Amino acid sequence: SQQGEEDPQALSIQEGENATMNCSYKTSINNLQWYRQNSGRGLVHLILIRSNEREKHSGRLRVTLDTSKKSSSLLITASRAADTASYFCATVSQGGSEKLVFGKGMKLTVNP
């Protein structure tokens, strides 16, 4: 299967609710990054978590990383309609490669 698979693939919630997205990967990583993409637009970097980190916060975002399970989660608290977008996890593997390996992404819809 593919590196960086998000779960669920689509999520629809009400404004104010929390949204949790999960990502699984296969290889040993150097770091894992989360990006957001509004429809038809570019990718916006949200947060980077290194392999030796377990949790990271940025505003309403909380990312966890479990290297033993090769998984990460992105939590968006108190969601807003403006959070409606596709969210991607991307990994940088150990071994010197600089490429980001993206998952298929998850479509989040926040209903007002």
Of 62, 100, 107, 109, the one binding another protein by CB under 8 A: 100
Written as six digits, the tokens of 87 are: 């969210």
Nearer to another protein, 43 or 61 (CB): 43
Decide if residue 31 touches another protein (CB under 8 A): yes
The CA-atom distances, in angstroms, between 57 and each of 2, 16, 22, 75, 93 are 27, 18, 16, 9, 22
Of the candidates 93, 97, 33, 98, the residue with the CA atom closest to the CA atom of residue 65: 33
Task: List residues bridging with 50 in a β-sheet.
Answer: 31
Residues 36-95 that bind another protein (CB under 8 A): 41-45, 48, 88, 90, 92
Q: How far is the CB of 38 from another protein (least distance, A)?
A: 10
Residues that bind another protein (CB under 8 A): 2, 30-31, 33, 35, 41-45, 48, 88, 90, 92, 96-105
